[in-house]
Structure 1
């Protein structure tokens, strides 16, 4: 039965699901309000357990309309929402519903990383505070809980946590809650900035000799990882995800292709029964669209990969290149890091700097830049998608890729490895088998202008038959000098034809 009033109405109702009685109060919003809020409903409605509460609500609404103070109840509620939700609640909802810029949901590994940042660094300090009550002083108090070491240790993780904190408050400032554009906060309390760590501290420079030392010291079944990251510029996750079918080597090991189509990411698998969980490795899509790419393999690295595959990889297309010794499943990222830590001790300078395995990729990028001036070609090799302002006018062309491949070949060939019981020497041994010395002669070929390097450039531009005829006319010393500076695959093909004719 309804109770008609001069303003609004109160009606007794009974819940169909519970049978409980309640009172529904409703009124028409003021006509003039529709000019500002055209999507207002026909009636503003609210339920109450007792009649007098419904009556009081209607009286308050009538008073606000008469005084010109009325705003839609949902907007009024949103204006006070900042003092109704804690940082912990808002941050958890932010991470759970966060989307990439393209609208896709976050990768599970990214979401778990954010959850860890909240759990370990933010919730302990800010979790119980109301969003509307957090001040710049509170943000500074959080920053003080993550002091940096004397050499900047801890700077990288602090920066990442700060980026998440900033994103949470920016979302609260920028995301409308209603048709009036009301946001949870009007300004962010995150006024401080945590600087990115100094690249010199994070990366350092790794020379060819140091890279070779790391390779020699690495656990043999993981040793090629050093070159795949430090010379080819692959991400550690991309290397870990490699399968036998992703490596296509030339029959004569003069080169090949690495197909990069996936990446390995550590994840935490929750256990609903115990409330705990365990770590696992997820093989999924690479970091970006540009990360899917093919890399040409230098000849010297082709031999290393061939030996590794024959020694450690099961004979199936989907067998992983780097596996546990007993499990033969994809290697756990922590096991690979432990092998890296052991190898890093062989280079005290890098050990002191705490060089990460990932930092070898920065080493590769720096070296690749010396091979070509094409930024777009570099980004294609490294799997990047962010381009500089003038990059739009550059092109990744075959000649630039060839420069990079040749540079990688020289980078590997420049490492003078000594044989040991664990590793096969791919630089000098094959050349000795082909009747080639490992050093260039000290004297020029014909005159001061004709060096082996210059002559090799002429040879590389010739057809194979012409190359063979040209080198056959040379003396043994001169021929050997030229072959020594040619790419290994080219030199091998030439000598194979010379041997056939002999």
Structure 2
């Protein structure tokens, strides 16, 4: 190893290949860098000497090579295009995987591609990522026609926000220009559909095939989605404990997949009458057979169950407005009416977030429910003499209830004969 004295030092290092390390010390900091040839090492020392002399004369401020590299990288980052950062840094993981690393279902992947397509049409797509402003984003959001609806606009906005959160965390930008709240989405018309009544559910049940009709109670009582109903297998039902394990759903291509959310994957208690119906539907079937099937016993897919069975029966019940998903609202509404708390509503509804449960809970416990509670509290706490009308109404209801009970008792006697 040989030293040659110049401004600074160049050290020749012999090994598998000869390298040259240039060194100098300034402001009590030792600076060094290795090169493959001596000429490059000397050239670097000369350029460093120029920077040091400029600093001594007060012409410019000297910084270490590593500090200069960081400043150069920061400048280059600010020049990086928004589109390049999205496609090269953000999209590869986000497009097909959830935040916890699990691969997304095909439907979720399709939605991600849809929102990415909307984002790729923004007018600032090829702007430097650090130069997109809050004003640019507000201008983009102002035209809902860019998205084809309120929900895609909100989802695309959330995608943009996530991109900038990543960029800030990685030091790509100093701060996010996404400072506004997410666009609001009006309540869907489906969410405003009134729940089904007990009478309507019974009519729908009676007008469906024997192999599919149990799906009505699985939806209206156990709060199951249609894809969860068609994915339900015999092995998912435990007759001894009267519980049902909801662990699968049906994908758009008919395959079994994970439930919509982690919260959806659960074990639900099954009340006794429904447990009996499920037990009957499981008879003479293998554990992997499906509980709800076509009339010929073959597997039924969710579109077939909806279009060829449920939709026809709901017309007979006088409820053409019903969706199968309305049965979930029916279940939750009824749960609230029998006294479920907000926490219990969230657990029963298997919602991934509290807001969904809160919306459903508030709707189910709205003005009519509040009136019912007020009347009930008054009746408990405030003594009063019943009016003639109240007494007559109570007599009518009691007679009707008595007639129903006698009819049920006669039916039991008839079965025993």
**Fold-level similarity (TM above 0.5):** yes
Matches within 5 A, 1:114-263: 115-125=112-122, 128-136=126-134, 138-140=136-138, 142-143=140-141, 146-147=144-145, 154-173=149-168, 175=169, 177=170, 182-189=171-178, 191=180, 193-198=182-187, 202-208=191-197, 211=201, 215=205, 221-249=211-239, 257-263=242-248
Q: 1:195 to 1:280 in 2, by over 3 A?
A: same
Question: Which residue does the alignment assign to 1:315?
Answer: 285
Instruction: Check 1:327–1:450 CA distance in 2 against 1; reply closer, same or farther (3 A cut).
Output: closer
Secondary structure at the residue paired with 1:260? strand
Tell me by how many angstroms 1:112 deviates. 1.8
Question: Is the 1:88–1:128 Cα contact (8 Å) retained in structure 2?
Answer: no
Counterpart secondary structure, 1:294: strand
The residue number in structure 1 matching 2:405 is 482
Shift of 1:244: 0.8
Distance 1:191 1:14 in 2: 60
The offset of 1:296, in angstroms, is: 1.6
User: Secondary structure of the residue that 1:108 maps to in structure 2?
Assistant: coil
Measured in 2, the distance between the counterparts of 1:8 and 1:339 equals 87
Among 284, 288, 298, the alignment partner of 2:258 is 284
Separation in 1 of the partners of 2:91 and 2:250? Answer: 22
Structure 2 counterparts to residues 296-445 of structure 1, below 5 A: 296-299=270-273, 301-302=274-275, 304-306=277-279, 308-309=281-282, 315-322=285-292, 328=298, 331=301, 333-336=302-305, 338-339=307-308, 342-343=311-312, 346=315, 357-384=324-351
Counterparts of 1:14 and 1:330 in 2: how far apart (Å)? 73
Instruction: Name the counterpart of 1:273.
Output: none
| Residues 97, 115 of structure 1: alpha-carbon distance in 2 compared, 3 angstrom cutoff | closer
For the 8 Å contact 2:246–2:266, the answer to whether it is kept is yes
Q: CA deviation at 1:98?
A: 6.7
Check whether the contact 1:261–1:286 (CA below 8 A) recurs between aligned residues.
no
Name the CA distance, whole Å, in 1 between partners of 2:304 and 2:22.
65
Whichever structure has more helix as a proportion of its residues is 2
What residue number does 2:381 align with? none
2:249 equivalent among 254, 260, 264: 264
Q: Relative to structure 1, is the Cα distance of residues 43 and 308 closer, same or farther in structure 2, using a 3 angstrom cutoff?
A: farther
Distance across 1 between alignment mates of 2:303 and 2:50: 63
RMSD between superposed Cα atoms in Å:
5.3
Q: Within 2, Cα distance between the matches of 1:280 and 1:60?
A: 71
1:231/1:285 CA distance change after superposition, 3 Å = closer
Task: After TM superposition, give the deviation of residue 288 of structure 1 in Å.
Answer: 2.2
Asked if 1 retains the 8 angstrom alpha-carbon contact of 2:206 and 2:213, the reply is yes
- 1:293 and 2:267 correspond: yes
How far does residue 369 in structure 1 lie from its aligned partner after superposition? Answer: 0.6
Give the 3 Å change call, closer, same or farther, for CA 168–218 of structure 1 in structure 2.
farther
Q: Which moved more, 1:1-10 or 1:188-197?
A: 1-10
Does the CA-based 8 Å contact 1:27-1:45 persist in structure 2?
no
Cα gap change, 1:372/1:184 in structure 2, threshold over 3 Å: closer, same or farther? same
Residues 92-151 of structure 1 deviation map (CA, whole Å, 9 limit, x = unaligned):
145169764xxx3244228625632344322243654442233345435654675399xx
Do 1:221 and 1:322's aligned partners in 2 also have CA atoms closer than 8 Å?
A: yes
- The answer to whether the Cα contact below 8 Å between 2:79 and 2:129 also exists between their aligned partners in 1 is yes
Task: Give the aligned partner of residue 366 of structure 2.
Answer: none
Equivalent position SS for 1:147: helix
> CA deviation digits over 1:296-355, x for unaligned, max 9?
2351x4465456546xxx721011234578994573x55555558944983999767xx6
In structure 2, what is the Cα distance between the partners aligned to 1:344 and 1:22? Answer: 85
Counterpart Cα distance in 2 of 1:115 and 1:365: 30
**Residues in 2 aligned to 1:142 and 1:374: alpha-carbon distance in whole angstroms:** 41
TM-aligned CA deviation for residue 12 of structure 1: 9.8
Q: Distance in 1 between matches of 2:177 and 2:226?
A: 36
Consecutive unaligned residues in structure 2, runs of 5 or more:
359-390
Contact 1:203 1:356 in 2 (8 A): no
Q: Which residue of 1 aligns with 2:79?
A: 83
Which residue pairs with 1:275 in the alignment?
none
Query: Does the CA-based 8 Å contact 1:291-1:384 persist in structure 2?
Result: no
- TM-score, normalisation: structure 1: 0.54
* Structure 2 counterpart SS, 1:346: helix
Listed as ranges, the gaps of 5+ residues in structure 1 are: 33-41, 251-255, 268-278, 392-443, 455-477, 486-490
TM superposition score normalised by structure 2 = 0.63
Distance between the aligned counterparts of 1:371 and 1:13, measured in 2?
A: 86
Structure 2 residue matching 1:319: 3-state secondary structure: coil
SS of 1:293's equivalent? strand
